[in-house]
Structure 1
Amino acid sequence: MKNKYYLNSLIIGVVIAVVLNFFTLPYYVTRPGDAQELGPLVSVEGGNTDEGSFMLTTVKMGKANVFTYAFAKLSDYQYIYPIAQIRGENETDEEYSYRQLHMMESSKETAIKVAYEKANKEVELISKGVYVFKVLEGMPAENKLTIGDRITHINGEETPTAESFMEQVSVKEIGETIEVTYDRNDQEEKTKITLAEHPEKPGFPGVGISLLTDYEITTNPAITINTAQIGGPSAGLMFSLEIYNQLVEEDISKGFKIAGTGAINEKGEVGRIGGISQKVLAADNAGVDIFLAPYENGAENSNYNEAVDAAKDIKTDMKIVPVNTFDDAIEYLEKLERKSN
């Protein structure tokens, strides 16, 4: 009789565990991902090979259930985020994935342009428009702009790229009203938006949207990049370095395993990204020698400072290097002594 009781209890426990495993909570859990070599993903026609390797770093993310939520609470370098901090309002999982993949496409195209120009190779990048891909709740653009709107002007001045839009906004004052011209469903519309404080840059004006420039690119020599299901813009810097290294005769990897992270714009400026402490751990697990991190012009809360703190915490020998621009990274690597065997 006792054995039957234990068996029934076990069956009930298993059923409850299965149900809880499939019952998701309104949170995402992120954890360290992988460090992936870019050489197999990037192929420049007639390109040169390297002795070392350039690597992108990733963060793994999934919807939380009772078990993953509890485990994240008890674990270092696993973080919990409300869904609203990850996805836009009413944005589905499919829409979020679509947005991430398009951000990667834009990042790749910008990385190609920066690398080809630095290597004095032929490249042409034509802007086809600036699209809204996220609207922040509680910010001025809420209920005025929506995902998919193509912004064309601010106060009558063209905005051909996301960078040009941000530059025009950055010279305004908090509380100042701007007129935004945009296309929605092939119809031109206008709206007035009063600027508020930027949520990530105290003291700076912001609209409360994230933008993506849609580019068309041609190159000589030809290039192929296979990113499969990699999403987001954070691998831009590392893609640009791998591309450049295949374009030039000198091997700037110098035999080192070099990882890093950072979005990159047309000017070669390296931008802040999320999850850098987790990426430091991923790189260390992969035996990386050097990790490049956005310095953000010395900001106190920069990605670089966060990366240094994480490196100290995990007691890694990996060198953390601050970079503001693509040129900073090239300059550092060109001065680097070749790795001894």
Structure 2
Amino acid sequence: MPRRTATMLASTLVFIALLCAGVFLKVPYAEMSPGPTVNTLGSADGEPVLDISGHKTYPTTGHLNMTTVRVTGADYRMNLLEAVYGWVAHDNVVVPHDTLYPNGKTEEESTQENAEEFSQSQESAKVAALRELKMPVKARVVVSSVVKGSPSQNKLHAGDVIRAVDGTAVKQPEDVARLVVKHKPGEDVVFTVVPADEAAAAEKAGKEPTGTEKVTVPTVKAEDDGRAIVGIQAGTDHTFPFEIDINLADVGGPSAGLMFALGIVDKLTSDDLTGGRFVAGTGTIDDSGKVGPIGGIEMKLVGARNAGAEYFLTPSDNCASAVSDIPDGLTLVKVDTIADARKSLAKINSGATADLPSCSAS
């Protein structure tokens, strides 16, 4: 066999071997890519994303789009070729698998966690929006979750309103843990609660729940530090003065909070927040209206610009990452609170865009 032919054959065999290795060799990475964006002022699957009843609403224009990120599933294992392509592709990001699914978290567990965070973000968005508009919102401490196999199982239930612990009234979720840990493991704690079903009926009627009952729960020793626990997570629930429904499926995580809150404000005020402009954004939001950082900011910028956004409301803590690669034609606007966002939207509406707070690398 001629040397040239042998060399070509050897090269071809090496190439085939490398290609096979690239296809069959699994690597511990996952991929993030731009997901769909949704206008909180518009509709999804034939329903308004924000449906408000029992209070006057106003026409809106333009876009206030929430943004999302697509990720590969927990059980999906990338091969080497996919990882290499992801590294060189501009619109995708390849990250260690444990970054998205730490401690062996399954896809089912991740989906459940994202659903819970999404539900909480909707609640906080409603609270933040109404408080921004100086509308009354009543808060109460509730059982957010009950640990399976804990002393509280079948005694306390998610949604129960906690009025008192050992006769001491509670006003904040942290009050519950503070009162429980006063006990020694093995001692009983007496909860004064409104059962979840009665609380839900009262909330639907727009009333404050009543009709308490006492529930005794024994404490056990926490494995990590030996303190007394009962196996519940306390949280906050609210009674709103009118009904606000957020209709959006197949979305998870807390990062849409800011855009939901702004959409609610826009519908409840005569001011047109966007002036017809296309604004997108992201950010968690708490009950006080403070905006927090999110993950996947680079992907969300790409998704927003691909959808047609001109401006992107960016949590200040994400600014340094966001400015590293801004899509052409997209202006980043730094926000720390819902009030900041409203002020910036007013500037966009009026054309005073030179005064917008901008992101920097520092």
| TM-score, scaled to structure 2 | 0.63
Provide the rounded CA distance (Å) in 2 between the counterparts of 1:268 and 1:128.
Answer: 21
Structure 1 spans left out of the alignment, 5+ residues: 1-12, 134-147, 153-157, 169-177, 195-211, 296-301
Query: For residue 123 of structure 1, what is the aligned residue in structure 2?
Result: 137
Provide the rounded CA distance (Å) in 2 between the counterparts of 1:180 and 1:44.
Answer: 45
Q: Aligned letter for 1:308?
A: V
Deviation at 1:325, TM superposition (A): 1.0
Provide the rounded CA distance (Å) in 2 between the counterparts of 1:190 and 1:265.
Answer: 32
Change in Cα spacing, 1:25 to 1:240, as seen in structure 2 (3 Å) is same
Which of 206, 218, 224 is matched with 2:239 structurally?
218
User: Residue 337 of structure 1: SS of its match in structure 2?
Assistant: helix
Change in Cα spacing, 1:232 to 1:159, as seen in structure 2 (3 Å) is farther
Q: Deviations over 1:13-38 (max 9, x none)?
A: 9xx99xx59x9754321111222111
The answer to whether the Cα contact below 8 Å between 2:298 and 2:322 also exists between their aligned partners in 1 is yes
Matched, 1:188 2:219: yes
The aligned runs of 1:1-341 (5 Å cut-off) are 25-39=27-41, 40=43, 41-45=49-53, 46-62=56-72, 63-66=76-79, 67-129=81-143, 160-161=172-173, 188-191=219-222, 214-295=235-316, 302-311=317-326, 314=327, 316-338=328-350
Structure 2 spans left out of the alignment, 5+ residues: 1-15, 44-48, 148-157, 163-169, 190-216, 226-232, 353-362
Provide the rounded CA distance (Å) in 1 between the counterparts of 2:184 and 2:309.
Answer: 46
Provide the rounded CA distance (Å) in 2 between the counterparts of 1:25 and 1:127.
Answer: 45
Q: Aligned letter for 1:325?
A: T
Deviation at 1:192, TM superposition (A): 8.6
Superposed CA RMSD in Å reads 3.9
The answer to whether the Cα contact below 8 Å between 1:29 and 1:64 also exists between their aligned partners in 2 is no
Deviation at 1:103, TM superposition (A): 0.2
Deviation at 1:90, TM superposition (A): 4.0
Provide the rounded CA distance (Å) in 1 between the counterparts of 2:309 and 2:136.
Answer: 32
Q: Aligned letter for 2:63?
A: S
The answer to whether the Cα contact below 8 Å between 1:180 and 1:191 also exists between their aligned partners in 2 is no
Deviation at 1:230, TM superposition (A): 0.5
Query: For residue 213 of structure 2, what is the aligned residue in structure 1?
Result: none
Q: Aligned letter for 2:78?
A: N
Deviation at 1:84, TM superposition (A): 2.3
Provide the rounded CA distance (Å) in 2 between the counterparts of 1:77 and 1:132.
Answer: 41
Q: Deviations over 1:244-264 (max 9, x none)?
A: 111111111211111111111
Change in Cα spacing, 1:48 to 1:90, as seen in structure 2 (3 Å) is same
Q: Deviations over 1:96-134 (max 9, x none)?
A: 10100100000110000010111233433433246699x
Q: Aligned letter for 1:31?
A: S
Deviation at 1:80, TM superposition (A): 2.2
The answer to whether the Cα contact below 8 Å between 1:57 and 1:235 also exists between their aligned partners in 2 is yes
The answer to whether the Cα contact below 8 Å between 1:130 and 1:159 also exists between their aligned partners in 2 is no
Provide the rounded CA distance (Å) in 1 between the counterparts of 2:35 and 2:264.
Answer: 23
Change in Cα spacing, 1:249 to 1:75, as seen in structure 2 (3 Å) is same
The answer to whether the Cα contact below 8 Å between 1:100 and 1:231 also exists between their aligned partners in 2 is yes
Deviation at 1:159, TM superposition (A): 9.5
Provide the rounded CA distance (Å) in 2 between the counterparts of 1:181 and 1:285.
Answer: 58
Aligned residues: 265
Q: Aligned letter for 1:42?
A: L
Provide the rounded CA distance (Å) in 1 between the counterparts of 2:134 and 2:33.
Answer: 39
Provide the rounded CA distance (Å) in 1 between the counterparts of 2:333 and 2:184.
Answer: 41
Provide the rounded CA distance (Å) in 1 between the counterparts of 2:140 and 2:337.
Answer: 22
Provide the rounded CA distance (Å) in 1 between the counterparts of 2:89 and 2:234.
Answer: 38
Provide the rounded CA distance (Å) in 1 between the counterparts of 2:171 and 2:100.
Answer: 26
Query: For residue 299 of structure 1, what is the aligned residue in structure 2?
Result: none
The answer to whether the Cα contact below 8 Å between 2:290 and 2:338 also exists between their aligned partners in 1 is yes
The answer to whether the Cα contact below 8 Å between 1:255 and 1:338 also exists between their aligned partners in 2 is no
